[in-house]
């Protein structure tokens, strides 16, 4: 198969396998999603979902969170790892949202990426899942599978994101990035598939 043929086949099959992929991180609104995505850096979504109920019970708005001592935030999110940095970022970005954005999460990449602890991937997830803006957040699963499926050379996540955006229609980006994540977690894992074992890898080799 050519690269466009592989892309079309994968899009068709992933739509069959995951017609309605859920958002993996539990959240209430754009603010709680932003915090959850920030916490997910170098941490599993499962662990984040175990931690955020206690955090959001304490404060689920930037106005409330900015009044919580950083040490208290850190104590709750410690299981997510990198808690000193993440707790400071959550506190500071909450203050910025209140002071500069009227307590609302901005729906644009530049403003999001200017917030403490928010990189391009985090901003992309929030734009896609909170605001429905076409984006293609590339996590470790997507980066790995894009290379395994020969959709990208996989030099870095920026390169992978650019390649995938060129291959797939803009209107499917938000759904597709979730579909690839779920497939990578459930079937085409780093150790469980060598590029020939799982269903889609087998189909692409035909």
Distance CA 78, CA 74 (A): 6
121 is catalytic: yes
User: Choosing from 45, 86, 139, 163, which is the catalytic residue?
Assistant: 139
Q: Which of 137, 128, 138 is nearest to 107 (CA)?
A: 128
CA distance 60 to 24: 18
Per the annotation, the verdict on 29 as an active-site residue is no
Among 45, 86, 121, 163, which one carries the catalytic annotation? 121
Alpha helices, H only, the chain:
3-17, 30-39, 45-58, 62-65, 70-77, 83-101, 109-113, 120-131, 140-148, 157-167, 173-186, 199-204
What is the Cα–Cα distance from 191 to 180, expressed in whole angstroms?
A: 16
> Three-state DSSP class for 206?
coil
Query: What amino acid positions are annotated as catalytic residues?
Result: 121, 139
């Amino acid at each position: 198969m050519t690269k466009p043929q592989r892309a079309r086949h994968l899009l068709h099959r992933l739509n069959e396998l995951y017609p309605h992929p859920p958002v993996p991180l539990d959240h209430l609104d754009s603010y709680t999603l932003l915090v959850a995505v920030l916490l997910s850096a170098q941490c599993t979504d499962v662990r984040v979902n175990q931690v955020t109920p206690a955090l959001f019970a304490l404060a689920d708005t930037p106005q409330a969170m900015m009044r919580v001592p950083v040490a208290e935030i850190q104590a709750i999110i410690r299981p997510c790892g990198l808690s000193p940095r993440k707790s400071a970022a959550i506190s500071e970005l909450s203050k910025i949202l209140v002071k500069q954005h009227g307590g609302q999460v901005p729906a644009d990449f530049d403003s999001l990426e200017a917030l403490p602890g928010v990189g391009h991937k985090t901003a992309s997830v929030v734009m896609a899942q909170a605001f429905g803006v076409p984006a293609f957040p590339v996590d470790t699963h997507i980066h790995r599978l894009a290379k395994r499926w020969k959709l990208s050379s996989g030099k870095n996540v920026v390169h992978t994101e650019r390649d995938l955006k060129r291959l797939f229609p803009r209107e499917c980006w938000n759904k597709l990035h979730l579909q690839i994540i779920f497939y990578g977690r459930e079937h085409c894992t780093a150790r469980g598939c060598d590029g020939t074992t799982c269903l889609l890898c087998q189909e692409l080799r035909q």
